[in-house]
Amino acid sequence: MRHSTRAARFIIACAMAGLSAFSAHSQQLDRSERRALVRACRADVARLCPGIRPGEGALGECLRENSSALSEGCRTTIASALAGSRPQTAGQETLPGDTRVLRDVAYGSDPKQRMDIYVPAGAAKAPVIFMVHGGAWAIGSKSAARVVDSKVAHWLPKGYIFISVDNRLLPEADPVEQAQDVAHALAAAQQKVVSLGGDPRRFVLMGHSAGAHLVTLLSSDPSIASRSGALPWRGVVALDSAVYDVVAMMRGPHLHLYDKAFGRDPAFWRRASPSDQLQREAPPMLLVCSSRRAQSCDQARAFDRKAGTVGVQTEVLPLAKSHGAINEELGEPGPYTDAVDRFIGGLVK
């Protein structure tokens, strides 16, 4: 029994480390939290990944590909850990002094249509970073520590308001519907910040992974958001999306998670594809990509070339960092944060 318990824990730890939204955090769980993951996800491992042994990322890759098929119990437990399943809320230990936090501000009737707003002391006509989390369009949380902490710690002292957004997920909402949720959230946030010392016309959209796809899709055709009442925004920071061209992705070798998200209809692929929706009215975009990840930088460079043909300003920033580190380390001191700072600063000045 002891051996099987250790094995189960090892399997779940390996699997969780392979999920795009959950890597370094899995090393911070205490014994009870690890046991909860084992209980919640053991059956999912047996059902979705039979015969795959832990090691070299194969099990984690399998669960990541099948993330939308995870049981509700496993999905909920992962989301709890993503959000930092300790009693404190993400960001609580690193918030600059006198920060005002408005949690779970509604922008729709669904429980997932919520956002958290972090406001620095003395905000006046403040620029706003509007963040959308990743998670294969199926999991993730606006309050996950790796989504919030380093970014808030860096940009709030510089006078920025930071907003982190949740939206409906698979299977309830497909990626186009998720982008529409983000558009509604953006319009609501622009209205809300006026009373908080923010400038509704100095927004910069940011997203990681699936969230990077969503903010890039909205920005490729800004009319999607304007129809929801959103004002124009200054630009986009896309953190390691690998699907700027959904059609090309789906017609080539790809992970099963993309089938879960985009289905088999080429007409839907085009609707969900930033490259296919790209209009000359799109704002400037910084495309951060992991050079360690298949297709990420190739997709970013192809989108950059397409943007150049229609006169849209884009810049590709390749980094020798993992997919998770590109999200979690943004805001920490170093050349990466400096480069993003320069881009954002040039937009909101």
Cβ neighbours for 125, distance < 8 A, ≥ 6 positions apart = 197, 198, 199, 202
Condensed to tens digits (0 to 9), the pLDDT of residues 156-181 reads 999 999 999 999 999 999 999 999 99
Q: Is the pLDDT of residue 207 over 70?
A: yes
Q: What is the predicted pLDDT for the residue at 246?
A: 98
Using a 10 angstrom Cβ sphere, with 0-12 exposed, 13-18 middle and 19 or more buried, the burial of residue 231 is middle
Condensed to tens digits (0 to 9), the pLDDT of residues 21-32 reads 343 334 334 455
Integer Cα distance of 14 and 7 in angstroms: 10
Q: What is the predicted pLDDT for the residue at 86?
A: 38
Domain with CATH 3.40.50.1820 in the chain: 100-348
More confident residue, 294 or 63: 294
Query: What integer is the mean pLDDT of 124-152?
Result: 96
Q: How far is CA 87 from CA 81, 105, 146, 151, 341, in A?
A: 11, 20, 16, 21, 32
Q: What is the predicted pLDDT for the residue at 310?
A: 97
Q: What is the predicted pLDDT for the residue at 238?
A: 98
The pTM is what? 0.79
For the domain with range 100-348, which CATH number is right: 1.20.1080.10, 2.60.40.10, 3.40.50.970, 3.40.50.1820?
A: 3.40.50.1820
Q: Is the pLDDT of residue 9 over 90?
A: no
Pairing of strands 114-119, 161-165: antiparallel
Query: What integer is the mean pLDDT of 202-231?
Result: 97
Query: What integer is the mean pLDDT of 206-233?
Result: 97
Q: How far is CA 90 from CA 101, 148, 167, 337, in A?
A: 11, 7, 18, 20
Q: What is the predicted pLDDT for the residue at 20?
A: 42
Q: Is the pLDDT of residue 282 over 80?
A: yes
253-257: long-range pairs with CB below 8 Å, 24+? 255/61, 255/64, 255/65, 256/65, 256/66, 257/64, 257/65, 257/66, 257/67, 257/68, 257/136, 257/138
Q: What is the predicted pLDDT for the residue at 349?
A: 92
More confident residue, 78 or 69: 69
Mean confidence (pLDDT) of the chain: 86
| Distance, CA of 318 to chain centre | 18
Q: For the chain, what percent of residues have pLDDT higher than 70? A: 78
Q: What is the predicted pLDDT for the residue at 71?
A: 75
Q: How far is CA 271 from CA 157, 178, 244, 263, in A?
A: 39, 13, 12, 12
Please choose, from the candidates 38, 48, 44, the residue with its C-alpha nearest in 3D space to the C-alpha of residue 4. Answer: 38
Q: What is the predicted pLDDT for the residue at 1?
A: 41
